[in-house]
């Protein structure tokens, strides 16, 4: 082992031992010369004799070197040096090849690093994150849904395998901080967490302490917020802050590196209050050191079964489950799935880039056939040559990989171009060791997968074939063509996929969503900010919307529980036709709206009427349904006037109950939160004035259609402050922006696919150009003879282009088949998308054909240029 | 002196000879080592003195000898090689192996003449 290490070291410091050896030999020679002189030789003769006695100094060095190091490692060193020299000598080849590889590797690396941050990198300042688990209600897709706070309490009470359990509210909320000195309400992003939150994570405090006891009126500040808002003043610890009408004592500041467990950021953590019983929480736990994660998960499942049994909910049991802790929480699988789809997309382009480089390497190996033949003649073994070619390829790929890491860095900055979420989000996208290893091993694997074949072909050089020019139909040429066809196929696949995703996006976000989002502003308001406002929400909403309607910049305004088209939706229960006991129960989308909502959004009222001011408490309960409900429950009949049974949650008594209401109107179908599936979702609208019992009127959005382009933030904000000083706007945005957010995943897919499609087109053009130029070079003599015998130039040009087109055609057939297969798979995920879209397929094939023709024109023209006569004289 | 008079050293024997010389004579530099080898050889052992070096490197890598820079009596610098403890053990083992091998070869040669 020591010898191994020494030899290895020797290899690296070739120069030093060599110098030392030279010094030693020189000393030896001097002694020898001295001895010869002592025997009476002249100094000159003595010097010569001494040199002869030692033998060739270089020879001695070579012997010495062989003894010193592994021969193959020394070979490797030579190959690397040689390879680098070659790469330097052909900058154009190096740059194009490395750049195309860098794009493929960089795109893969960027996606991997996002997945890495969300799935594998534990949040900073968390102790032993491997022992943490996320806990929730098992979902069909393998993910977790949030659970109720009361279920969390049961888990905490019963568990024996977890040393601690903590919970936090679903996501941070915009809250109102009433400063004690000015009395002005400030916007603050807060999140509720159990008092066990910090201790379970093992996250310390930077100032003061984290939550420790059972005091429900404590708050911990985020470090950055503390620096920003309180200038890093230690005096804030112990202060009382009034947030959303409640008093919280600041007990400390969280660790500077700790910004929560998920992707959201917040300004403050508030201790969750026990009366939040019904609200949903995200739960995590720390597994005892002596217990395996599997055992803990099994115990959590058993606790869920026990709870369901005791609550008498055995027909809809609570299936609790635990997953490894990550930033993605219960949505792990969604992140993995989405990352996998993106990874497949960008891998296609990487494979295309590799095929391109492999093709170029093959061409180059033809050009280097003489070098190989000479080396073979001088006794280099085939394996030695393969090794050398492979080393060169690996070097090239590693250069591509290193540049790719830089490309990934640039690509990651594009993440910030995504539409903003309601509350700030940060994912620390770090290119850590894991990402580096990924990028470099990806490069290595790609180099071996796509380098071995060209290396073997390249090293097969016997003197015979090299002398002859008759290698036209050799397997190398066929392989070169195969690589180009593969590139074409992959390009077509990517172009078709890009077109497909763009169609998904247009289909989903197109004009026909059933409402007109242009010019509509949304202002979200949360009344839990103010104790006063909460006591009479109806009054406040009425006042607020009246005053917004009075603004000159506003054409129309209304209120809605959820604005359409965004990510949000509310689930409230089911509906059934009241006059037909056999009718199926539907699970519709729900909304609670004020009068004028449909006019504001330009949703047509197809039958009946809109809500009016007369639809209030005490009046007969009414409802408006979407066309889809009318068709499904009262097909062929007039739905207006029909009774509708609502199976709905009554917040006042905290129970599901049945209510019978009368349908007074039918409105047009809209594509709601699930814009993607494109199905007309059944939708039920409750009048705000009659919906007090749902307990959902605390958070509403003012929906306003504006005149002109003014943003309403300041004006609406002023109105709210005027109504209640504690109210701040949770957020304002245009409806189009909100909808864009709902389509963000599709947009990312479309942009990535389109970008990759473009890159692959470029690569395909390079590949076709390269292979055509290569054919022209091989058949120069033939073309020369043809031209000399009087063949028209056009004929030769068309021959050359034709040859390129054959490859395009072969690639196109494979590519179209792949694209149709991929379309079938995607049609499963995106409803309403035909697997085969003739124009897209045809268009892609024509596009590639055009690119192919363009790319082969230059070499074709080259074939018939004036100097073709020279080709005849070459041999 | 013609080339045929040279005694070609068998593979591996040079290592043993060097070790043995260092064992009996103490630290030597390469030149002294070469002179010593010529001295003891009854035949004119025309050693290409350069070939000593690979052997010295090999032995040093195995940890059987150790080289340090020093001065000769004529005040020239030279690298002195000394045998190490593992080297001494190795001499014994190698010498035993050599005795067995040469015994066998001698026996075969005598039997056939």
**By mean pLDDT, which of A41-55, A230-244, A297-311, A712-726 is the weakest?**
A41-55
Q: Are A263 and A117 in contact (CB under 8 A)?
A: no
Q: Are A377 and A416 in contact (CB under 8 A)?
A: no
d(CA A40, CA A37): 5
- pTM: predicted TM-score of the whole model, two decimal places: 0.69
- CA closest to A32 among chain B residues: B31
d(CA A272, CA A149): 9
- CA closest to B30 among chain A residues: A28
What is the percentage of chain A residues whose pLDDT exceeds 90?
19
Q: Measure CA A855 to chain center.
A: 33
Residues of A in contact with B53 (CB under 8 A): 21, 24-25, 60, 63-64
pLDDT at A10 over 60: no
d(CA A150, CA A157): 11
Beta-bridge mates of residue A284: A134, A166
What is the percentage of chain B residues whose pLDDT exceeds 70?
78
Q: Which of B12, B36, B53, B78 to mutate to test the interface with A (most CBs of A within 10 A)?
A: B53
Residue written as token pair 């091993």: A441
**What is the average pLDDT across A764-783?**
82
Task: Looking at A469-536, list the stretches that DSSP marks H as alpha helix, in order from N- to C-terminal side.
Answer: 475-509, 531-535
d(CA A479, CA A453): 9
The better pLDDT of the pair A500, A417 is held by A500
Residue contact B57–A59, C-beta within 8 A: no
**What is the average pLDDT across A356-379?**
77
Q: Output the CA–CA distances (angstroms, integers) from residue A863 to A365, A776, A857, B35, in the order listed.
A: 22, 6, 10, 72
Q: Determine the distance in angstroms separating the CA of B1 from the nearest CA of chain A, rounded to an integer.
A: 13
pLDDT at A448 over 80: yes
The residue among A837, A825, A810 whose CA lies nearest residue A345 is A825
The residue among A835, A851, A831, A832 whose CA lies nearest residue A843 is A851
pLDDT at A125 over 90: no
Task: For A452-490, write each residue's pLDDT tens digit.
Answer: 888 887 777 554 555 444 444 466 778 888 888 888 899
Residue contact B29–A31, C-beta within 8 A: yes
3-state DSSP assignment of residue A207: strand
Range among A424-438, A560-574, A600-614 rated most confident: A600-614
Task: For A302-316, write each residue's pLDDT tens digit.
Answer: 999 888 888 876 666
Residue contact A3–B61, C-beta within 8 A: yes
Tokens of A576: 């059934």
pLDDT at B50 over 50: yes
Q: Are A101 and A398 in contact (CB under 8 A)?
A: no
Q: Determine the distance in angstroms separating the CA of B100 from the nearest CA of chain A, rounded to an integer.
A: 27
Residues of A in contact with B58 (CB under 8 A): 67
Task: For A274-287, write each residue's pLDDT tens digit.
Answer: 665 557 889 999 99
Residues of A in contact with B72 (CB under 8 A): 31
Beta-bridge mates of residue A207: A253
**What is the average pLDDT across A489-512?**
78
d(CA A501, CA A732): 29
Which runs of E-coded beta strand occur in chain B? 28-29, 65-71, 77-83
Beta-bridge mates of residue A136: A321
The pLDDT value recorded for residue A835 is 60
- CA closest to A65 among chain B residues: B54
| Per-residue confidence band for A579, with pLDDT thresholds at 50, 70 and 90 | confident
List chain B domain ranges.
Answer: 3-112
What is the percentage of chain A residues whose pLDDT exceeds 70?
86
pLDDT at B3 over 80: no
| Per-residue confidence band for A56, with pLDDT thresholds at 50, 70 and 90 | low
The pLDDT value recorded for residue A556 is 92
Residue contact B49–A55, C-beta within 8 A: yes
Task: For A860-871, write each residue's pLDDT tens digit.
Answer: 887 777 666 666
Interface of B to A at Cβ within 8 Å reads: 29-32, 34-35, 48-51, 53-54, 57-58, 61-63, 72, 74, 76-79
| Per-residue confidence band for A163, with pLDDT thresholds at 50, 70 and 90 | very high
Residue written as token pair 């020239």: B76
Residue contact B53–A63, C-beta within 8 A: yes
The better pLDDT of the pair A3, A141 is held by A141
pLDDT at A325 over 70: yes
d(CA A152, CA A478): 65
d(CA A241, CA A239): 6
Task: For A530-578, write each residue's pLDDT tens digit.
Answer: 777 777 788 889 999 999 999 888 899 999 998 876 556 676 778 888 8
Q: Provide CB contacts within 8 A for A483, sequence distance 6+.
A: A355, A356, A358, A359, A362, A767
d(CA A165, CA A686): 39
| Per-residue confidence band for B11, with pLDDT thresholds at 50, 70 and 90 | low
Residue contact B50–A21, C-beta within 8 A: no
Task: For A394-422, write each residue's pLDDT tens digit.
Answer: 999 999 999 999 998 888 887 776 666 66
| CATH T-level topology, domain B3-112 | Arc Repressor Mutant, subunit A (1.10.10)
The pLDDT value recorded for residue A455 is 84
The pLDDT value recorded for residue A159 is 92
Task: For B73-103, write each residue's pLDDT tens digit.
Answer: 777 788 888 999 888 888 888 888 878 877 8
The pLDDT value recorded for residue A865 is 75
The pLDDT value recorded for residue A270 is 92
Task: For A245-291, write each residue's pLDDT tens digit.
Answer: 888 999 999 999 998 888 888 999 999 876 655 578 899 999 999 99
The pLDDT value recorded for residue B2 is 40
d(CA A311, CA A840): 55
The better pLDDT of the pair B47, A547 is held by A547
Q: Are A589 and A681 in contact (CB under 8 A)?
A: yes
Q: Kindly report the backbone phi and psi dihedral angles of residue A639, in degrees, each rounded to the nearest multiple of 5, phi listed first.
A: -75, -25
Residue contact B53–A34, C-beta within 8 A: no
Q: Residue B52, class by beta-carbon neighbours within 10 Å (0-12 exposed, 13-18 middle, 19+ buried)?
A: buried
Task: Looking at A572-699, list the stretches that DSSP marks H as alpha helix, in order from N- to C-terminal side.
Answer: 597-601, 627-633
d(CA A527, CA A428): 33
Q: Determine the distance in angstroms separating the CA of B102 from the nearest CA of chain A, rounded to an integer.
A: 26
List chain A domain ranges.
Answer: 2-69, 129-326, 334-509+744-873, 531-726
pLDDT at A672 over 90: no
Q: Are A252 and A211 in contact (CB under 8 A)?
A: no
Residues of B in contact with A3 (CB under 8 A): 61-62
Q: Residue B87, class by beta-carbon neighbours within 10 Å (0-12 exposed, 13-18 middle, 19+ buried)?
A: buried
Q: What is the mean pLDDT of chain A?
A: 82
The pLDDT value recorded for residue A820 is 87
- CA closest to B29 among chain A residues: A28
pLDDT at A786 over 50: yes
Strands A655-667 and A622-626: parallel
ipTM of the complex: 0.75
Q: Which of A26, A32, A37, A53 to mutate to test the interface with B (most CBs of B within 10 A)?
A: A53
**By mean pLDDT, which of A10-14, A176-180, A396-400, A636-640 is the weakest?**
A10-14
Please write down the HEC assignment for all residues of A1-50: CHHHHHHHHHHHCCHHHHHHHHHHHHHHHHHHHHHHHHCCCCHHHHHHHH
- Which of B35, B50, B63 is nearest residue A55 as measured by Cβ atoms? B50
| Per-residue confidence band for A359, with pLDDT thresholds at 50, 70 and 90 | confident
Q: Output the CA–CA distances (angstroms, integers) from residue A180 to A239, A241, A248, in the order listed.
A: 10, 8, 12
DSSP annotation string for A549-569: HTSTTEEEEEEESS-TTSS--
Beta-bridge mates of residue A174: A189
The pLDDT value recorded for residue A142 is 79
The pLDDT value recorded for residue A674 is 47
- CA closest to B77 among chain A residues: A27
Task: For A810-834, write each residue's pLDDT tens digit.
Answer: 999 999 999 888 888 877 766 556 6
Instruction: State the Cα torsion A606-A611-A612-A618 to the nearest 10°.
Output: 140
């Amino acid at each position: 082992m020591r010898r191994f290490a020494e030899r290895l070291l020797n290899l690296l410091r070739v120069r030093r031992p060599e110098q030392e050896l030279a010094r030693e030999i020189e000393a030896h020679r001097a002694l020898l010369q001295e001895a010869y002189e002592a025997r009476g030789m002249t100094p000159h003769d003595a010097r010569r004799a001494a040199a002869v006695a030692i033998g060739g100094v270089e020879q001695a060095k070579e012997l010495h070197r062989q003894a010193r190091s592994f021969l193959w490692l020394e070979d490797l060193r030579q190959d690397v040096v040689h390879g680098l020299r070659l790469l330097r000598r052909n900058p154009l080849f190096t740059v194009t090849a490395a750049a195309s590889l860098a794009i493929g590797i960089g795109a893969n690396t960027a996606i991997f690093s996002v997945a890495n941050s969300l799935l594998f990198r534990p949040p900073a300042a968390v102790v032993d994150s491997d022992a943490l688990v996320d806990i929730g209600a098992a979902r069909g897709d393998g993910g977790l849904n949030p659970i109720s706070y009361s279920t969390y309490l049961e888990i905490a009470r019963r568990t024996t395998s977890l040393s601690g359990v903590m919970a936090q509210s679903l996501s941070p909320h915009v809250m109102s901080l009433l400063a004690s000195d000015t009395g002005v309400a400030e916007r603050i992003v807060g999140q509720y967490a159990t008092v066990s939150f910090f201790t379970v994570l093992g996250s310390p405090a930077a100032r003061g302490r984290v939550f420790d006891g059972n005091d429900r009126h404590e708050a911990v500040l985020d470090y950055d917020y503390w620096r920003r808002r309180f200038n890093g003043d230690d005096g804030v610890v112990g202060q009382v802050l009034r947030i959303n009408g409640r008093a919280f004592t600041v007990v400390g500041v969280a660790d500077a590196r700790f910004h929560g467990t998920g992707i959201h950021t917040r300004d403050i953590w508030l201790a969750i209050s026990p009366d939040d019983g019904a609200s949903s929480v995200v739960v995590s736990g720390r597994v005892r050191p002596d217990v395996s994660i599997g055992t803990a998960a099994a115990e959590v499942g058993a606790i869920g079964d026990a709870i369901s049994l005791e609550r008498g909910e055995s027909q809809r049991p609570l299936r609790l489950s635990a997953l490894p802790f990550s930033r993605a929480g219960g949505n792990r699988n969604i992140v993995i799935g989405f990352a996998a789809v993106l990874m497949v997309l960008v891998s296609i382009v990487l494979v295309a880039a590799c095929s391109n480089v492999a093709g170029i390497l093959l061409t180059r190996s033809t050009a280097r056939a003489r070098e190989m033949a000479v080396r073979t003649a001088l006794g280099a073994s085939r394996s030695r040559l393969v090794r050398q070619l492979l080393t060169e390829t690996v070097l090239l790929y590693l250069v591509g990989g290193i540049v790719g890491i830089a490309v990934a860095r640039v690509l990651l900055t594009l993440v910030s171009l995504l539409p903003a979420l309601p509350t700030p989000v940060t994912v620390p996208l770090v290119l850590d060791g894991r990402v580096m290893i990924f990028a470099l091993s990806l490069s290595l694997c790609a180099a071996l997968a796509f380098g071995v074949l060209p290396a073997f072909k390249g090293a097969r050089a016997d003197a015979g074939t090299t002398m002859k020019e008759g290698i036209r139909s050799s397997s190398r040429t066929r392989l070169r063509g195969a690589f180009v066809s593969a590139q074409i196929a992959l390009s077509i696949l990517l172009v078709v996929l890009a077109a497909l995703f763009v169609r998904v996006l247009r289909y989903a976000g197109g004009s026909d969503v059933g409402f007109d989002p242009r010019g509509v502003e949304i202002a979200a308001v949360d009344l839990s900010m103010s104790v006063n406002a909460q006591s009479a929400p109806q009054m406040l909403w009425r006042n607020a919307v009246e005053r917004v309607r009075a603004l000159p910049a506003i054409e129309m305004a209304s209120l809605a529980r959820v604005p359409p088209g965004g990510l949000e939706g509310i689930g409230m229960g089911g509906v059934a036709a009241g006059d037909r006991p056999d009718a199926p129960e539907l699970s519709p989308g729900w909304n609670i709206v004020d009068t004028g909502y449909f006019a504001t959004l330009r949703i047509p009222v197809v039958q009946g009427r809109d809500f009016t001011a007369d639809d209030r408490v005490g009046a007969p309960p009414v409802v408006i349904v979407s066309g889809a409900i009318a068709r499904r429950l009262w097909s062929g009949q007039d739905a207006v006037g029909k009774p509708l049974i609502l199976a709905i949650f009554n917040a006042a008594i905290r129970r599901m109950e049945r209510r019978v209401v009368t349908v007074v109107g039918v409105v047009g179908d809209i594509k709601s939160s699930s814009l993607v599936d494109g199905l007309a979702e059944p939708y039920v609208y409750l009048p705000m004035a009659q919906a007090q019992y749902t307990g959902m009127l605390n958070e509403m959005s003012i929906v306003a259609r504006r005149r002109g382009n003014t943003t309403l933030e300041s004006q609406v904000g002023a109105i709210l402050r005027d109504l209640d000083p504690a109210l701040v706007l949770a957020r304002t945005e245009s409806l189009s922006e909100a909808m864009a957010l709902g389509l963000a995943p599709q947009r990312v897919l479309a942009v990535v696919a389109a970008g990759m499609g473009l890159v692959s087109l470029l690569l395909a053009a390079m590949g076709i150009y390269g292979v055509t130029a290569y054919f022209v070079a091989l058949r120069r003599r033939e073309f020369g003879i043809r031209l000399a015998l009087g063949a028209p130039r056009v004929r030769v040009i068309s021959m050359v282009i034709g040859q390129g087109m054959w490859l395009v055609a072969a690639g196109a057939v494979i590519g179209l088949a792949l694209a149709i297969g991929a379309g079938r798979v995607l049609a499963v995920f995106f409803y309403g998308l035909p697997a085969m879209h003739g124009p897209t397929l045809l268009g892609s094939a024509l596009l590639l054909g055009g690119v192919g023709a363009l790319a082969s024109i230059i070499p074709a023209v080259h074939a018939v240029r004036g100097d073709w006569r020279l080709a005849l004289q070459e041999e | 002196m013609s080339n045929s008079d040279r005694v070609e050293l068998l593979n591996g024997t040079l290592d043993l000879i060097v070790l043995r010389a260092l064992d009996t004579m103490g630290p030597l530099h390469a030149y002294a080592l070469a002179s010593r080898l010529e001295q003891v050889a009854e035949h004119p052992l025309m050693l290409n003195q350069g070939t000593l070096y690979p052997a010295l490197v090999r032995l040093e890598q195995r940890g059987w000898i150790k080289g340090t820079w020093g001065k000769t009596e004529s005040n020239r610098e030279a690298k002195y090689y000394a045998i190490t403890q593992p080297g001494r053990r190795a001499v014994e083992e190698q010498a035993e192996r050599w005795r067995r091998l040469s015994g066998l070869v001698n026996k075969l040669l005598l039997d056939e003449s």
